[in-house]
Structure 1
Amino acid sequence: MIRTLTTTAAATALLALASPATAQDPAPPAGSWSFVVGAATDNRSKGASKSDGDPFVWGAAEWESASGLVYAGPSFETIKSSGSELEVALSAGVRPYVAGFDFDLNVKHKWQVDADPAADDDAWEFTADMKRSIGPASGRLRVQYSPDSTGATEAWTWVEAQASWDFTDKLYASAAIGRREQDNSLNYTGYNIGVAWALTRNLEADLRWHGTNADIPGEQYADTLVAGLSLAF
């Protein structure tokens, strides 16, 4: 009888010791990766062309935390600037949701590959987005800043307002207007208006008119219609 009680007590003790390990919750997911590649008839950024009006390709990989709050990843795009035809970047940010608004706070460091030896071929760029959606309508305010841009341009700021409307779950239209103030370069206003259509679950087409008020010869600030495709996976 004593032996039986001793054995039972030992077994109970072992189960008590083992239960925390076996009852542990599974480890939370470590996040996930997503990828996107695309091409368009012109590389437009802040209203101006980064490819001198020529077609370009681009791609990005993004890691996102399980909560969706934190993200980071590399990207690339083809350009024509300071003798370089390829720009690569690393970025990281957070996407909090506060008082009904979606925020996206991002920092990016970019490099121009094989730029001219004397060129300023890298830059830091900081972006803050605030977005609000009500039914099919949404609005976004964007503020961007760089303390020292690539090339001859030094510090600059870009402030942009965007509005969009979802016609269906596959078709939406958007328009944006922004102002760029630059040290040692041109100040101008840029705008775009266009539509995007989800051709499949992963493939999206975009057709957009871009323009600026910069009266400068050449393709960089010229008004143009840009068509693009992007594939996410």
Structure 2
Amino acid sequence: MIRNTRAARLPVPLAVALAALAAPALAKTSGPSSDWGFELGAGTDNRSKAASKSGNDGYVFGAATWESADGRFYAGPGFETIQAGGSRFETELVAGYRPEAWGYAFDLSLAYKNRWDVDPGYDADGWELTGDISRAVGPAEARLQVQYSPDAAGSTRSFTWVEAQLAWAFSPRLEGSAAVGRREQDGAPDYTGWNAGVTYALTDALALDLRYHDTDAHTFGEQYEKALVAEVAYAF
């Protein structure tokens, strides 16, 4: 476990600004077809693995992602607002690889997550390994995700999350999807969570998502209760 190091931090707006300023130079040195992409968004609740990370309140998020010329490698920083252990911001650095084989698409990534300005004694950071396998047939797509952390932030130590998702493209702009997952964790409740909703692309850059989330762990706190969540995301 890497402990929180205050001296190494940058404010979130500054980190995103530096990534934006570095993008043209990095794109040139990486080849003419490599590229940076950016995303900003907001939602009525920050749901992760069906549970709330923002105290069932609204949140904002953003990311800057570099992608290789062939689209297989990617890396970059991101942030989101949360409510946990006294912290209101969580940042991450992620790197991944997206190969294809036998008609399936794979996405393998490693992320380092860090919660800022936590209460004394709170475990502020952790590593997460994620593996996705998906396949599309016509308008339908199926995906299986397996995620593991040896020591997550907060009281949770190791955890495993396994989620299956089915999606259907009703039109080039409208997609519906549903997912169910199981989280087994050390130091926090085990539970099953699910969601279902629709995503609509208003433009090539602006998308809206409306989704219902729920778990079987309501007795463990408000973060596990059902919620209807609306999000908007702008990619550029």
Q: Deviations over 1:82-132 (max 9, x none)?
A: 110000010000000111000000000010010112110000000000000
- Residues 1:64 and 2:64 aligned together: no
137-146 or 28-37, larger mean C-alpha shift: 28-37
- 1:192 pairs with 2:195: yes
Return the alpha-carbon distance in structure 2 between the equivalents of residues 215 and 204 of structure 1. Answer: 30
Q: Note the 1:1-233 alignment, pairs <5 A.
A: 28-29=31-32, 31-216=34-219, 218-233=221-236
Instruction: Determine helix, strand or coil for the equivalent of 1:201.
Output: coil
SS at match of 2:82: strand
Letter in 2 for 1:185: A
| 212-221 vs 121-130, greater mean Cα deviation | 212-221
Write the distance in 2 (CA, Å) between the matches of 1:28 and 1:191: 41
Query: What letter matches 2:46 in structure 1?
Result: N
User: SS where residue 39 of structure 2 aligns?
Assistant: strand
Letter in 2 for 1:147: P
Amino acid paired to 1:161: A
How far apart, in 2, do the equivalents of 1:54 and 1:214 lie?
19
TM-score under structure 2 length normalisation: 0.86
Aligned equivalents of 1:153, 1:87: Cα separation in 2: 16
RMSD: 1.1
Percent of aligned positions with the same letter in both sequences? Answer: 54
**Which of 1 and 2 has greater Rg?**
1
Residue 222 of structure 2: SS of its match in structure 1? coil
Matched to 1:172, the amino acid is E
Letter paired with 2:168 = W
Instruction: Report the Cα distance in structure 2 between the residues aligned to 1:28 and 1:80, rounded to whole angstroms.
Output: 40
Give the structure 1 partner of residue 12 of structure 2: none
The runs of 5 or more residues in structure 1 that have no matched partner are: 1-26
Distance 1:89 1:146, change over 3 A: same
Matches of 2:70 and 2:113, distance apart in 1: 27
Determine the C-alpha separation between the residues in 2 that align with 1:216 and 1:170.
Answer: 38
Q: Is contact 2:130–2:147 with CA below 8 Å preserved after alignment?
A: yes
Counterpart residue type for residue 68 of structure 2: S
